[in-house]
């Protein structure tokens, strides 16, 4: 699924332009990191890309289809192609690992089976296979609250994959993990990219990890795109511009 972001702007109030005229595209199977200082607009961008926040101007196209103007079932269908994982995992702590992954199927189910939690054998097998894929085959019945941070992020990844997305958005997926666990999670994401063809757009505060695991960097500063290019071409000067303090940012 190709992602195109065209002249996207977002203003929360008169003073703060969270995003200003941001344009870039991400090809199928790419791993892109969005970097920039705190408040640059990274989370806002991800929320717009997964349809949870509208933008004020511009448009987002997923496989050539407009996310902004789509409504109802059509919008749900486009959004289904986009999965998201978060820094804080956003799981239901008191229920099992398997149940957390199965819950991702609820929007696709008819009312009664959904209410009764009748997921059926095929969905259970899919969820179990995804949990095996992320290395949690032996934790299916474990309540999420008993897991480590890295294991929780693996559950969140399996949950996102349950809806068969083509793009995975990750908002600082390893920011709350120790360095070793963080690398393991990024290795898993890269594996999903390289072996399963998943497209990945990741927000990150860790420049070294972004450079190591992604193909391309997108630099945001004060809501403006200040860099879009291969990791290898992001010179020290470029990095300085991306992270420049608000008052000295050059765009």
Name the site residues for ligand ATP (rule: CB under 6 A). 12, 16, 18, 36, 38-44
Q: Does 43 bind Mg ion (CB under 5 A)?
A: yes
**Torsion angles phi and psi, residue 220, rounded to 5:** -115, 140
Q: Does 214 bind Mg ion (CB under 5 A)?
A: no
- Minimum separation from the CB atom of position 3 to ligand ATP (A): 18
Residue 18 binding partner per list Mg ion, ligand ATP, none, with a CB distance cut-off of 5 to 8 Å that depends on partner kind: ligand ATP
**In the complex with ligand ATP, which residue's Cβ is closer, 44 or 84?**
44
- Minimum separation from the CB atom of position 137 to ligand ATP (A): 33
Residue 12 binding partner per list Mg ion, ligand ATP, none, with a CB distance cut-off of 5 to 8 Å that depends on partner kind: ligand ATP
Per DSSP, what are the bridge partners of residue 91? none
Residue with tokens 């696709």: 108
Q: Does 204 bind Mg ion (CB under 5 A)?
A: no
SS3 168: strand
Please provide the size of the chain in residues.
251
Q: What is the rounded distance in angstroms from the CA atom of residue 91 to the CA atom of residue 144?
A: 8
| Nearest one of 166, 228, 217 to 32, comparing CA atoms | 217
Q: What is the rounded distance in angstroms from the CA atom of residue 71 to the CA atom of residue 69?
A: 7
- Minimum separation from the CB atom of position 19 to ligand ATP (A): 8
- Minimum separation from the CB atom of position 43 to Mg ion (A): 3
| Nearest one of 179, 194, 127 to 157, comparing CA atoms | 127
- Minimum separation from the CB atom of position 108 to Mg ion (A): 29
Residue 16 binding partner per list ligand ATP, Mg ion, none, with a CB distance cut-off of 5 to 8 Å that depends on partner kind: ligand ATP
Q: What is the rounded distance in angstroms from the CA atom of residue 213 to the CA atom of residue 2?
A: 20
Q: Does 151 bind Mg ion (CB under 5 A)?
A: no
Residues that bind Mg ion (CB under 5 A): 42-43
């Amino acid at each position: 699924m190709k992602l195109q972001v065209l002249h996207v702007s977002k203003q929360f109030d008169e003073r703060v332009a969270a995003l200003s005229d941001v344009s870039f595209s991400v090809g199928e199977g790419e791993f892109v990191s969005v970097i920039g200082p705190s408040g640059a607009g990274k989370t806002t961008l991800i929320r717009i890309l997964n349809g949870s926040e509208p933008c004020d101007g511009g448009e987002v196209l997923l496989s050539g289809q407009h996310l902004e103007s789509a409504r109802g079932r059509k919008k749900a269908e486009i959004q289904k192609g986009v999965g998201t994982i978060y820094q804080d995992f956003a799981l239901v702590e008191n229920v099992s690992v398997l149940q957390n992954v199965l819950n991702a199927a609820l929007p696709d189910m008819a009312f009664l089976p959904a209410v009764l939690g009748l997921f059926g054998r095929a969905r259970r097998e899919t969820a179990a296979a995804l949990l095996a894929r992320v290395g949690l085959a032996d934790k299916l019945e474990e309540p999420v609250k008993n897991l480590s941070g890295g294991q929780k992020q693996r559950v969140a990844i399996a949950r996102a994959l349950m809806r068969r997305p083509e793009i995975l958005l990750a908002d600082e997926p390893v920011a709350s993990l120790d360095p070793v666990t963080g690398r393991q999670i990024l290795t898993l994401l890269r594996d999903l990219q390289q072996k399963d063809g998943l497209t990945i757009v990741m927000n990150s505060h860790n420049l070294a990890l972004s450079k190591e695991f992604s193909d391309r960097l997108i630099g945001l500063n004060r809501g403006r795109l200040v860099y879009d290019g291969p990791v290898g071409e992001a010179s020290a000067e470029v990095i300085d511009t991306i992270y420049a303090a608000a008052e000295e940012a050059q765009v």
